[in-house]
Amino acid sequence: MLSNPHSSSEIAAHQVRNEVRQDHQPCFNLATFNSTYMEPAAEDLILEGLAKNLVDPRAYPSIMKMERRCVEMISDLFHAPAAFGVGTVGSSEAAMLATLALKARWAEKVKKKKKMSKKTLAGHATTITAAARPNLILSSAAHVCWIKAGLYFDVEIVTVPCSEDRLVLDPRAAVDHVDEGTIGICCILGTTYTGEFDNVKKVNDLLLERGLDVPIHVDAASGGFVAPFTTPETQWDFRLQQVASINVSGHKYGLVYPGIGWLLWRSADYFQKLTFQLSYLGAQQESCTLNFSRSSSHVIAQYYQFIRLGRDGYSQVMQKLMQTARHLTQQLRMLGFVILSKPDAGLPVVAFRLEHAHRLPYDEHMLSAELKRRNWLVPAYAMPGGVERTSMMRVVCRLDLTQLMCDQFIRDLEASLVKLG
């Protein structure tokens, strides 16, 4: 219920600050992939852009140009033949749009097949079969946004389960699931569970070997701003013939506060049916996102980071984060943990679990709770479908996780193990 009478700005601000004071400091939240630090200059620009509506190019033409330049720079980074894409509020919105685009492309193919069938019916050469339900193939390690997309847009999600020795998509199993209803295969460049990359090239090559015209969407929410700088030789992007679209989160390793994402397509053909024309803001413009009005702040912040860091700057940041991940991996191994991640073949993430053979009197969830009492947020969660009976933990290495913080975390982790044991 709204209060009556109103409060002064000082009283209202004091009350809000009191309520958020109990929250954890973002830098100690080792669970999140989201950026928790930006330079003061970037924060100033974010504040300046808050009141500017991103979808009003007549009033704020510079913002539209910045967004377009961001799309062009990311397209170049992903080896796209041309720059076709949009900014979104995050990778979840991008996943929704990608699903709609894949479904629209599939529906168009089905429509053409029906026309061909009708033409040949006169000669009794073929019959028209009932259209299959559209389906999207992905691994059980996929983000929940893809499950939502399937539910919202009536697309069956065909899940390829993970196993103890494979916590990413099995390329052969994925391609084996392809049928006439398949709208695409979704590959993940850095899973939420372990940070490992799906083998996109293997999926691409298998599709070509079998003559299957099935597009690949790459969910590069986390890995899109990592792989180009840590493993540039890895082919996962538009260099591969079957890759039709890619999403990436600016608010993860794009180094911008939440929330901003990007969706890139190989060509305009993939998103034309998602584009709407409008003029009620005073100028003719196009819209092809699920959201409409939103602040310009995050586009400005992304543009700032691209100018500020450039390729060399992003490369230095990612190499530093990889070094942090390798250091943590070594320390955790020395403490007896089983390492599940592969920092040299994925994200700067350290996924680990306890050694179950030791029959310890505690589990990962108890350890997570003890670390929280020491102000560290380290998630304990079930592994993906197929191995969900096993729990694991994860540390996400970000820009504000310094060497000193890493060393303090290891000391607190050791103390937690002693207390629980």
DSSP string for 147-192: HHHHHHTT-EEEEE--BTTB-S--HHHHHHT--TTEEEEEEEBS-T
Q: To 5 degrees, how large is the angle CA 290–CA 293–CA 298?
A: 95
Q: What is the pLDDT of residue 270?
A: 82
- Cβ contacts of 329 within 8 Å, gap of 6 or more: 339, 341, 343, 350
What are the 10-residue block averages of pLDDT along the chain, 421 residues in total?
83 92 92 97 98 91 96 98 95 97 94 72 49 92 97 98 94 98 98 97 99 98 98 98 98 98 93 78 77 94 99 98 96 96 91 90 96 97 89 96 94 97 87
User: Are 207 and 175 within 8 A, CB to CB?
Assistant: yes
pLDDT attached to residue 117: 65
Can you read off the two tokens belonging to residue 195? 């940070």
CA 163 – CA 168 distance, rounded (Å): 8
Domains contained in the chain, CATH given: 26-38+315-420 (3.90.1150.160), 47-120+130-305 (3.40.640.10)
Supply the pLDDT for residue 126: 46
Backbone angles phi, psi at 102, to 5 degrees: -65, -40
pTM: 0.93
Residue 99 to residues 189, 216, 263, 273, 408, Cα–Cα distance (Å):
17, 11, 11, 12, 43
Q: Which of 231, 137, 132, 153 is nearest to 189 (CA)?
A: 231
Residue 416 token pair: 């937690």
